[in-house]
Structure 1
Amino acid sequence: MKFLKNISKLSGCQAAILTNQSAFGYNGKYHFQTYSEIFDLKTIFLPEHGLFAELQDQVSGDELKYLFGNMQIVNLYGKEESSLVPPKESLQNLDLVIIDIKDVGSRYYTFLTTAYYILDQIAKLKKETGKAPIFLVIDSPNPIGTKVEGSPLLESYQSFVGVKTVLHRHGLTPGGLLTYYNDTFHLNVDVVVVPVGVFHPNRIPSFEWVPPSPNIPTQNTCFVYPGMCLLEGTNLSEGRGTTKPFETFGAPYLFGEAKQELDIRLSNHQKGTFFLRNLRFLPTFHKYVGIICEGYQLMVTKPKKFHSLYFTLYFLKQLGELFPKQFEFLKGVYEFRSDRPAIELLAGDPYLLDYLYGKHSESDLEMYLENQESLWTKAIKPYRY
């Protein structure tokens, strides 16, 4: 992995940046404002949710307007799937493309997929013209650390919510994951990683959390997200429209004797690593808006031992058994894709899907996940530091 500790060599370069409000410093400035004092910053690439995380999931940013001098704004989350890939002309005549945006440690989270699409376009530009900008990653810590969970996403399931080969919880920093992409997919882009403190020595410390998107309000949300994001592919509310999305979840139909049995089954799963608080909640938007839902708040008590993905897979399997007439996996368009249901794009692995339909036991799943996680840990060793 290439590192850079002296920025003076890059001063004055023509640059573009992928960023949002999560890149913010003690000096009261967003990082892109600081870069405009160092580089000739030409373009801001907008990720999903917008520059200030104004928009909810799967909402086009085409209508967003910003005024930052003569900088061009290129929205990379529009109304069509083609909008996800930056136009080649937006990368031409640049010396530098800066990636300065927080990740939450899970492959579903789309910011680093957007960064990967930029990286891939730079690779194509380099192949076609022999010239391409440096891909500069301003690295920041993974908010949920180096622990990994899950299995590799198969290429046939690849989408905006998952790049092939990556686990559900990848255990890497943005610099590590993007360098992994560059090497693994033989993109041959000049990738340089810079620890965030080099550019921003007075950055916000790790205990201060700037929400990178509307439904990741706290760092605790990140610990449950690698599993609970699967609920987006079901008719359960994942807590959007509440103050604790992904930690709060449920549906109007979770009641009666089947709910009591569900409580018992969940209480015996991964004992001592989490606590479930029974509750009722009223989503103010998204699924079941204005309808009271029965459900839970998931409180992780031992983050280093709790396996979010396994918990959610187990939970969904129990719902299929206890609420067979009410529980459903959603159909229709999800993140621009209509050829596969959302649960398939999110799970990304036929083995996990078979488990959800009762074709594998708990012990089988545990062994499978342990093996896949061990292989991934070995594969990413060069990209950890």
Structure 2
Amino acid sequence: MKAPKVLTGLEQCVADDFRAFQGRRVGLLANPASVDHRYRHLIDLAKDAGLEIVRVFGPEHGLGGTAQDLEAVADVEKNHPRWGVPVISLYGADESSLTPKPEHLADLNVLLVDLPDIGTRFYTFAATMIRTMRVAAGKGLKVVVLDRPNPLGGVRTEGPGVSDGFRSFVGEIDLPIRHGLTLAEIASKVKAIEKLDVDLAPIPCEGWSRQMLFPETGLPWLLPSPNMPTFDTALVYPGGCLIEGTNLSEGRGTTRPFEIIGAPWLSEVKLADSLNSSGLRGFYARPLTFKPTFQKHEGKICAGVQIHVTDPTVFQPVRVYSAAIIAARAQNPEKFRWRTEVYEFRTDPIAIDLLFGSSRERKLIESGATWHDLADFWTDDQGPDTVEFN
């Protein structure tokens, strides 16, 4: 099998037979996409190298990646049926489950973190890593982040950050929605900003340049979560996930989540025309109808659009999907509403405010603003080196 252009942190550990971690009590934070370019999973590779794996931690969706969004995952307190190790869920039935218990880290010497991220602030794996780092602080535990490329590249940023009072599991730190950082870079910034006494040892990628989009890395795409089936999904996700904060379907229950959006009470042609005449570039909104098989509008025929990215180098997903929300609300203001149900264990602030990172964008939309008005408040496309958060 041809070697990829980019070597992940995991690939480098495999090449070295995990030598630095031999004789240590090891924990792993991983999910189904924690594999090398030969599709071999981190747990198998670590066990084959003779590491003593004490326990494994699973993020949202679980170690097996079978749980849908917002679905609690139980611990496997004894032995996992495939790997024979205990598995601790870091996405359970209440907010406290999002943070590991100190006793689950106390008997470890090393924690290896290998979570394929998708470069978007509200994708929750970074929040899981950050919360774990905070618990590990002062414990003498070495936290090793096996880095992976940001699939969206490391140059462009887009969208608002997180204001005081709006921190949550989809806004753990103040980052733009599309942040241009890798998971190891986020970890290093968090350690510095929060002055965490944690023994952080990132293993950066070799061969990755910030201009690369995921297909250029030569690495295989594996679903990091159930509704992230392709790189195309990741391209639209920084905007597509905003639809979760509304009563529009974000395409869950279809084979193209986040690319497809709509509702039973919309005109697909009007929505497509509005987006295609918005002045935004790098995409085409194709009118379509669809029937979600689960979640919002399950079993109902919805009218909407599929966002086809035609040029990812100029596509601005946060603007495009903000424009879609504005257009849908204008088309049927009587039936459009913001999501008020529990979202990531919170009801106040509501979901759209947590996703945007403040109530500003929602209030602007309610006042009749355009996507231009929203974007005027965003400092983006400055590159990740200029990203500041606290």
Q: TM-score, normalised by structure 1?
A: 0.88
Structure 2 residue 93 is matched with structure 1 residue 71 = no
Q: Hey, what does 1:10 align to over in structure 2?
A: 21
Q: Deviations over 1:68-93 (max 9, x none)?
A: 55522111111111111101000002
Q: Deviations over 1:42-68 (max 9, x none)?
A: 110011111221111111111767235
Structure with greater proportional helix content: 1
Q: Comparing 25-34 with 153-162, which one deviates more in the overlay? A: 25-34
Q: Hey, what does 2:136 align to over in structure 1?
A: 122
Q: Is the 8 A contact 2:280 2:320 kept in 1?
A: no
The 2-side partners of 1:380 and 1:254 are apart by 39
The 2-side partners of 1:214 and 1:55 are apart by 7
Structure 2 vs 1, CA of residues 119 and 180 (structure 1 numbering), >3 Å: closer, same or farther?
same
Q: Hey, what does 2:161 align to over in structure 1?
A: 152
Structure 2 residue 220 is matched with structure 1 residue 220 = no
- Cα displacement (A) at 1:162: 1.4
Q: Hey, what does 2:143 align to over in structure 1?
A: 135
SS of 1:195's equivalent in the other structure is coil
Match for 1:40: what amino acid?
E
Structure 2 residue 59 is matched with structure 1 residue 47 = yes
The 1-side partners of 2:347 and 2:130 are apart by 22
Tell me the number of residue pairs that the alignment of Structure 1 and Structure 2 aligns.
364
Q: Hey, what does 1:80 align to over in structure 2?
A: 94
Question: Which consecutive residues of structure 2, in runs of 5 or more, have no partner in the other structure?
Answer: 1-8, 208-216
- Cα displacement (A) at 1:285: 0.9
Q: Is the 8 A contact 2:323 2:370 kept in 1?
A: no
Structure 2 residue 377 is matched with structure 1 residue 368 = yes
Q: Is the 8 A contact 1:152 1:372 kept in 2?
A: no
- Cα displacement (A) at 1:183: 1.2
The 1-side partners of 2:230 and 2:310 are apart by 15
Structure 2 residue 114 is matched with structure 1 residue 100 = yes
Q: Hey, what does 1:62 align to over in structure 2?
A: 74
Q: Is the 8 A contact 2:271 2:287 kept in 1?
A: no
- Cα displacement (A) at 1:379: 3.4
Q: 2:329 is matched with which residue: 320, 332, 354?
A: 320
Q: Is the 8 A contact 1:180 1:380 kept in 2?
A: no
Q: TM-score, normalised by structure 2?
A: 0.87
Q: Comparing 262-271 with 99-108, which one deviates more in the overlay? A: 262-271
Match for 2:124: what amino acid?
T
SS of 1:33's equivalent in the other structure is helix
Q: Is the 8 A contact 1:154 1:164 kept in 2?
A: no
Q: Hey, what does 1:266 align to over in structure 2?
A: 275
Q: Deviations over 1:13-36 (max 9, x none)?
A: 111011011111355531122123
Structure 2 residue 127 is matched with structure 1 residue 113 = yes
Q: Is the 8 A contact 1:317 1:358 kept in 2?
A: no
Q: Hey, what does 1:202 align to over in structure 2?
A: none
- Cα displacement (A) at 1:262: 3.4
Structure 2 vs 1, CA of residues 357 and 40 (structure 1 numbering), >3 Å: closer, same or farther?
same
SS of 1:91's equivalent in the other structure is helix
The 2-side partners of 1:264 and 1:21 are apart by 39
Structure 2 residue 290 is matched with structure 1 residue 281 = yes
Q: Hey, what does 2:348 align to over in structure 1?
A: 339
SS of 2:320's equivalent in the other structure is helix
Q: Hey, what does 1:209 align to over in structure 2?
A: 221
Q: Is the 8 A contact 1:155 1:164 kept in 2?
A: no
Q: Deviations over 1:264-315 (max 9, x none)?
A: 3211124441011111111111111111111111001111111100111122
The 2-side partners of 1:374 and 1:182 are apart by 23
Structure 2 residue 42 is matched with structure 1 residue 31 = yes
1:233-248 paired onto structure 2 within 5 Å: 233-248=245-260
Q: Is the 8 A contact 2:80 2:86 kept in 1?
A: no
SS of 1:352's equivalent in the other structure is helix
The 1-side partners of 2:280 and 2:170 are apart by 30
> Which 4+ residue blocks in structure 1 deviate beyond 6 angstroms?
3-6
Match for 1:308: what amino acid?
P
Q: Deviations over 1:111-154 (max 9, x none)?
A: 1111111011112xx1xxxx321110000101111221112112
Structure 2 vs 1, CA of residues 179 and 288 (structure 1 numbering), >3 Å: closer, same or farther?
same
Q: Hey, what does 2:104 align to over in structure 1?
A: 90
Structure 2 vs 1, CA of residues 290 and 35 (structure 1 numbering), >3 Å: closer, same or farther?
same
Q: Is the 8 A contact 1:274 1:301 kept in 2?
A: yes
